[in-house]
Each structure stands twice: as structure tokens, then as C-alpha cells.
Amino acid sequence: MAASGQDQGGQEFSGRTVDEAIAEGLAQLGIRSDQAEVEVLSRGSRGIFGLGSEPARVRISRRAPAASPTPKPAQPPVQSQTPAPQPTPKPEPQAPAKPDSMPTSVASPTPAPASPAATEASRPRVSNLMDDEREEYDGGTATDQVEAVSDEELSVMAVELLTELVRHMGFEAQVNAEWHESDDNGEHYLLLDIHGHELSPLIGRRGETLASIQYLVRLMINQRIKRWKNIVVDVEQYKERRVNQLTQLAKRMAEQVTESGRAVSLEPMPANERRIVHLALRDHPSVYTQSSGEGERRKVHIVARD
């Protein structure tokens, strides 16, 4: 099944984190983030030493297009008329003011216009921000002071923070920062690539350690500036190499399915890697992809078209 369920006009998707569940859903539905309505059903749980873990779950539906405003009918011209004279009312006697008069009411201040970042249409709308990494960072709360930083200032801040984090983990490394545009949705993101010697422990099994480092960096940066910024952490271009490997694997398996007519199931992968496979074969004329399973056992199936 492409999704774990469907309710209230949307489909449910799961992943190790909320971000991975959203990425999985967007890839399978073939839509961009600005075309999606996202409701976080559960943030999931990592459990204790891998026991009792639960996947994060979201419901995604297509965002309805904005309705065009209905033009107002033209009003007929108003003919000027001379008003009839009105009798002058007699002034009424005013009561003397009481000593304990009521205090004069103060007009409520006009609310300030909403921040453009809070109404930015390029982000999926998350109906339950308490279960999402972005809960504190879409413009902050009413008592938060949003810190305006430029891309250059954010790069310097992120490099210093990640360098210190890696040093405390016992590694000597250099961090390079560069802004990129995503190929599939055009999203502006900051790439932090770590370079050094013997850094494979920073990647971990199937990139799990690297994903945790990325989560911490996002959390600390966005907590400081009180606004969501997409930050991607990599180790010596591991993610770029992994994208190329999975893309080539998907194409080879697609050829095999086309020749044999039998579906092929890939090994279980995290949501971000399953998304790479979905995107690689999204426009393939002979096969299509779908996912099944829960949590860490979720995998991609490549199926021949009828």
C-alpha cells in the first residue's frame, strides 16, 4: 500500500520522524510541499535502546486551489436629492455628573498585520505544531522575539555550532557551508558538509547517526533564531553518493521488472531513501513504485504497469 490509511480526505504516512513521514507522503502523492495540507497524528517514540519505538504518523491531503474573488456588481449612480428640512430637536436637560463616574473606556489597539513568514504558502500547513520539529520556529510565539539573520550570518552560526558539536564528540573536522536550491521542489536550504579523517562513525548504520546530528543542529539553530530554517548535514558528500547509488539501483531493478513482469521488493530503507527511489522512477513508462510495512521494516516495491 502507498499509505497506511485514508481518512477525512487525506492519506496517512509513517516514518522514523515527522519530517521523514512528510517526505514519504509528498513523494508518493507526487506533489510539492506548497500543494499539501499536513496534519501530524503522532510524533512517534524512539523507545529505550530500540525497545517500544513507534513510527511518526501524518495525514496528507492535497491543498484546494484558492478561489478567485467574485467581482462586485456595479452600483447604479446615486442621484443627488435635496434633503427635506428636519425640525431642530430641543436640547434635553443633562443630569449632573456623579462623583464616582465610570472610567473612560480605552480603545483596543489595532492588531499588527501578520508576518509574511507566518503566511508563507511554500510550506505545508501543520495543524498540530506540538508534534513537529517546527513547533517553535514558524515566527515564534507571542512572547518570542524573532531574530532576523541573513543567510551569511546563519551560515557562520551553523558552522561554529556544528564544529563545536563534532569536537565534543571526539573528532577533528572542518565544516563547509553552502546554500542550495532543491532539485525537486526548489526549496532553499543550507548544506553543512563535514570533512576530516575517519569520520564514518558520524554516519552510522544506514545514516542513523548522521540523521541524529542533523536533527540536533536544526533544533539548536532554529531555537536560537525562533524560525524554521532547512539545514542539511552531510559527511564528505555521503548523502550525494547515496542518492547516486539508490538512483542507479532503482533503474536497474526497473529494467529487471520490465523484462520479467514480476515485482521486486527492495530492502527496508528510511523515508528519505525511499523517497529517492520513488522520485527516480516517478516518470518511468513501464513501472511504478509503492511502499509497505511499518517503521524500520517499511520498504519500496517496484511493480510493472498493466
pLDDT score for 87: 52
pLDDT score for 215: 93
Between CA 278 and CA 3 the distance in angstroms is 13
pLDDT score for 88: 53
Question: At residue 278, what is the residue type?
Answer: H
Cell digits for 180?
A: 542550495
pLDDT score for 105: 35
pLDDT score for 126: 32
pLDDT score for 100: 40
pTM: 0.48
Domain map (residue ranges) of the chain: 1-63+120-135, 142-236, 241-304
Statement: 241-304 belongs to CATH 3.30.1370.50: yes
pLDDT score for 29: 86
Sequence-ordered list of residues with C-beta below 8 angstroms from that of 261, at least 6 positions apart, any chain: 304
Q: What is the pLDDT of residues 64-77, one digit of tens each?
A: 766 555 555 555 55
Pick from 5, 45, 26, 103: nearest CA to 279: 26
Which segments of the chain have a pLDDT < 50? 1-2, 5-8, 48-51, 78, 80-83, 93, 95-144
pLDDT score for 295: 85
Place of cell 529494467: 255
The CATH number that domain 142-236 falls under is 3.30.300.20
Q: What are φ and ψ of residue 229, in 5° steps? A: -130, 135
